[in-house]
Structure 1
């Protein structure tokens, strides 16, 4: 702004000198008009500078405000991370407590079973002793071992209705439970959980329909069904219908060595289509029992 003021003063002095040398009025007016134009240009530039300064000032305030907001967001993220960490710690602690409760319940259940079996043996022994004649030959009779039904593990379940629309990775749930000794099969998830180590036998049956029973269109029934232990393939069956009203069933059987807590289920990895029957004509079923 100082440069423009100096330039303006020089123009005024030059005008005075020229005026003294030349009294031409028209020329003087022309010079005055030019000087006015220069002054207007200078004024516009000063206004532009003022506007620019105001814009810079506003931008500076916006930057400060954004910096404050960023700082608040960082604080919120840190607080959230601390909350998540505390929740994770609580979950781990609760899982440990649940595990301890499960172990305690299992120990108490086993203890109750043993005590119950011992009580039955004691009662049977007492009854046999009281019934034997003294000095008679019956005094040498051997006691028959008492059967411990609590140790049995066996289940049989089937699906209660026809179905379709089987997608990839489908887990089959057999909702109607006929037998579930040991309560190792879960009819809500379709999963069998081994209560203890041993050899287990499993059987699964599928029934593919040659008609559309559940709103499907296109091809008729075709499916591959796997028996899976802890996510690992252990066996499979396959059925396919090619013509209308053609029905096809297939059954698989496997004997597996399981550890306590191992899970076994029936799944379809991919490629299923059409409808599947499970009615009085034939059932989708899943069964198993502990061999030894």
Structure 2
């Protein structure tokens, strides 16, 4: 019995390190776990940064819309002041005409008839609705830096909006959204780099409505091409420019000598 106890004790001591070694990770495994955690954290951080950037862009668009609403409100207030002034002048004219008519020595029937005619004309001026104020819609934007090798069906973004009356164009998405229905004119100019070609389409609600080709594949030179389109839009229709499947992936130039631009206005 003594011998068996001693042997069992020795067996337990020998096997104990092996059982513990199965529970303890090697330094390499721990490093791999830490790397996986860091990779997951980095992916989460990048996702949060992307969502934050999108929120900032949406906030900028909302600010532009608020500025546009404030401008419209100011114009309406000026229009109300102008109409009130016109109404006051018409009322004064009515009083003066009534005073003058009372001094005329014509027969009562003729005086009454002429006074009624004048009063009807003046009342028509007061009651007729004023002409509607038409808010102008126009935009002009261009690229501040080149677009290196855009992929197929890539929406071109013209990030500098020099003119944006009506706030229909977004410099973040490169898309124009019609603030009101009507006939619109769009023009664009694309400058292509050497040894390449760009087929550019004007898209209206994701449907091709126009296009241009800049081609320098067989020449060590630059090329600039423009086009114009006239479209009938409903309120909320969107228009933008994009590359097509036929485009060679060469740079789209943008500098102070040759602007790559996009503009439009309502007739």
Within 1, Cα distance between the matches of 2:132 and 2:188? 31
Contact 1:204-1:284 within 8 A present in 2 as well = no
Does residue 173 (structure 1) correspond to residue 158 (structure 2)? The answer is yes
Does residue 285 (structure 1) correspond to residue 247 (structure 2)? The answer is no
Alignment counterpart, residue 238 of structure 1, candidates 194, 201, 213? 213
Contact 2:141-2:158 within 8 A present in 1 as well = no
Does residue 204 (structure 1) correspond to residue 177 (structure 2)? The answer is no
Within 1, Cα distance between the matches of 2:235 and 2:132? 24
In structure 2, the CA distance between the partners of 1:118 and 1:257, relative to structure 1 (3 Å rule), is same
* Counterpart in the other structure of 2:227: 251
Does residue 125 (structure 1) correspond to residue 102 (structure 2)? The answer is no
Contact 1:207-1:278 within 8 A present in 2 as well = no
* Counterpart in the other structure of 2:16: 54
In structure 2, the CA distance between the partners of 1:203 and 1:174, relative to structure 1 (3 Å rule), is farther
Contact 1:222-1:240 within 8 A present in 2 as well = yes
So what's the TM-score if we normalise by structure 2?
0.52
Gaps of 5+ in 2: 25-54, 102-114
* Counterpart in the other structure of 1:271: 248
For the residue of structure 2 that corresponds to 1:289, the secondary structure is strand
Residues 187-228 of structure 1: CA distance to partner in whole angstroms, max 9, x if unpaired?
4543323334x235241322435xx6xxxxxx4352122233
Gaps of 5+ in 1: 6-41, 64-93, 213-218
Contact 1:237-1:252 within 8 A present in 2 as well = no
For the residue of structure 1 that corresponds to 2:248, the secondary structure is coil
Contact 1:157-1:287 within 8 A present in 2 as well = yes
Alignment counterpart, residue 167 of structure 2, candidates 168, 174, 183? 183
In structure 2, the CA distance between the partners of 1:275 and 1:233, relative to structure 1 (3 Å rule), is closer
Contact 2:214-2:223 within 8 A present in 1 as well = no
For the residue of structure 1 that corresponds to 2:11, the secondary structure is helix
* Aligned residue pairs, count: 201
In structure 2, the CA distance between the partners of 1:226 and 1:54, relative to structure 1 (3 Å rule), is same
For the residue of structure 2 that corresponds to 1:124, the secondary structure is helix
